[in-house]
Amino acid sequence: MRHNKEILIIAFLFISFLNSSCRKEFLEESPDKSLLVPKTLDDFQALLDNNQVMNISPALSFISADDFTITESGYNGLVTPMERNGYIWAPMEDLYEGRAINDWSVPYLQVFYCNVVLEGLQKVKLDAGNEKRWKEIKGTALFNRSFAFYNLAQLFAQPYSNARAKNTLGIPIRLSSDVNIKSTRGNLFDAYQQILADLTEAVKLLPINVSYKTRPKVASANLLLAKAYLMMGDYPNAQLYAQECIKNANGLINYNSLSTTSTRPFPIALPNSNDEVLYYSSMITYGYLSSAQTGVDLNLYQSYSQNDLRKALYYRDRGNSIYQFKGNYTGSASQFGGLSTNEAYLIKSECEARNGDFQSAMNTLNDLLKNRWKTGSFVALTAPNKEEALKIIMLERRKELVARDTRWSDLRRYNLESNLAKDLTRTIGSKAYLLPAGDLRYTLPIPVQEIQLGGIEQNPRN
């Protein structure tokens, strides 16, 4: 009998051990201290501060646009099908020859991170101590998601036209981090509405000033809103937000303060230099962008006046009439794909002209340009009418924002207006290539992985 009692005691110990709360605590410890399940504001901030994910933007637009050309031997040395086929606007549907492309997957990775953050924020208890930070993080996630959607729409959806937007295929707007949800393309109108709504909210949440260019601020959201409205042809709103942006930004750089002989004339933007940079993003690297055989379009190069500092600050003479771009706002070898104040001036100016006030438009443009010319040499530009003003502004826009991803978007929207439409041509050796205005090839195909595994509709090429 005595022994039975002992057995009972041991059995009791076993059972209580199995159910104790110690057990839960024991198994709760992380297997690796550097691992985390994002739960706190610090975690979310750390996710958004991953600049190798968040501060990257597509570059296929750079390859397909008409600002730059490559020599024949340079073209033959291009390694990826994206560059080779993208450069000549190849009509094939499988433009990337089966390769996965970062221009599609990286923005969606950004969307995924933002959705993880936005969902996680809902579970964080708000109090007086953390409210400011909570808002900033939410604003950042909303901004970053919109930035990704905006970039995707420029490449993979047709240009926005008010008449057709509701019947135009959009881009998958993913608002949940659940990877099991199937993507659908929706329509372009809804896609832009989502961007506008998120950015409008972000404006209310973001801070006026940030200490890191990789984080967005109010002016960044203002400018992205202006860009989106510009693409939608809503010029009054575009002008409004461009003005807001200029108000909230830190002014322009006077290019006279920079060294024209330097290989990297602009200050390294990160963490917090270059007053004009509102939001830092660098383009995905392709050999085409950095090749010494890639040079700016010669007509464009010659359109800069000798007293225009940009001619020397932006380009490096590589011989054989190759003028390689060196004026990256990143301050490094990476191509700048982010947002900067000069773009706000150009949007404001264009919208003022389009809205009928071409005098103001020229004033706005001159405000920008006087910072670009050698001190004392600048003569303010004038225009006799709206059409002339618009022409001047469009050229100056191209000269100022060269080597950004804006040119491709601009071509797309200009093509919707018959007087601005332009056919593009290219030659490699003896072979000539043509991209007529408004061609379907202005919309890039979606990578085959997405089509096969996600089952969404492909963009037609011809």
Q: Which residues bind other proteins (CB under 8 A)?
A: 3, 6-7, 10, 13-14, 17-18, 23-24, 26-38, 43, 46-47, 49-53, 98, 100, 104-105, 108-109, 111-113, 115-116, 172, 174, 177-181, 183, 212-214, 263, 270-271, 447, 449-450, 453-456
- Residue 254 carries which side chain, given as an amino acid letter? N
Residue 1 CB, nearest approach to other proteins (Å): 11
- For other proteins, the closer of residues 112 and 408 by Cβ is 112
Question: Measured on CA atoms in the order 407, 410, 414, 415, is the torsion positive or negative?
Answer: positive
Instruction: Identify the bridge partners of residue 70 per DSSP, sorted by sequence position.
Output: 294
Shortest Cβ distance from residue 427 to other proteins (Å)?
A: 25
- Rounded Cα distance between 100 and 427, Å, is 27
Query: Smaller CB distance to other proteins: residue 37 or 208?
Result: 37
Enter the DSSP assignment of 163: T
> Which token pair is 310?
């940009």
Bridge partners, residue 279, by sequence: 339
d(CA 304, CA 226): 27
The residue among 7 and 208 lying less far from other proteins, judged by its C-beta, is 7
| Of 330 and 349, CB closest to other proteins | 330
Which of these, 375, 228, 405, 399, lies nearest to 311 by C-alpha position? 399
Residues in the chain: 462
In angstroms, give the least distance from the CB of 47 to other proteins.
Answer: 5
Of residues 100 and 395, the one with the C-beta less far from other proteins: 100
Chain-centroid distance of CA 184 in Å reads 22
Least distance between other proteins and beta carbon 252 (Å): 24
Give the Cα separation of 308 and 399 in Å (integer).
11
Which one, of 243, 350, 227, lies nearest residue 281 by Cα?
A: 227
**Which residue number, 51 or 260, has a Cβ lying nearer to other proteins?**
51
Q: At what angle do helices 406-414 and 131-156 cross, to 10 degrees?
A: 60
Give the nearest distance from C-beta 265 to other proteins in angstroms. 14
Asked if 220 contacts 280 with a C-beta cutoff of 8 angstroms, the reply is: no
Cβ–Cβ < 8 Å for 199, 209: no
Write down the least CB distance from residue 391 to other proteins, Å.
39
- Min dist. Cβ of residue 39 to other proteins (A): 9
Name the residue nearer to other proteins (CB basis): 49 or 201: 49
Tell me whether residue 212 or residue 433 sits nearer to other proteins (CB atom).
212
| Cα dihedral 341/193/207/329 (nearest 10) | -30
Nearest to other proteins of 37, 163 (CB atom): 37
Q: How far is the CB of 204 from other proteins (least distance, A)?
A: 24
Give the β-pairing of 56-57 and 282-283: parallel
Minimum distance from residue 286 beta carbon to other proteins (Å): 18
The least CB distance from residue 343 to other proteins, in Å, is 22
Is the previous residue joined to 271 through a cis bond, with omega within 30 degrees of 0? yes
Q: What is the distance between the alpha carbons of residues 416 and 397, in angstroms, rounded to a whole number?
A: 18
C-beta closer to other proteins: residue 52 or 299? 52
Question: What is 238-288 written as a DSSP string?
Answer: HHHHHHHHHHHS-----GGGS-TT-SS-SPP-TTT--TTEEE--EEPP-HH
Query: 233, 162 in Cβ contact below 8 A?
Result: yes
- Closest approach of other proteins to the CB of residue 112, in Å: 2
- CB 50 to other proteins: min, Å: 4
Cα–Cα distance, 276 to 269 (Å, whole number): 9
Cβ neighbours around 69 below 10 Å, total? 18
Using the minimum distance from each CB to other proteins, give the nearer residue, 86 or 447.
447
CA-wise closest residue to 223 among 136, 150, 157, 273 = 150
Which CB atom, from 28 or from 127, has the smaller least distance to other proteins? 28
Distances (CA, A) of 53 to 91, 105, 147, 176, 403: 31, 11, 13, 18, 21
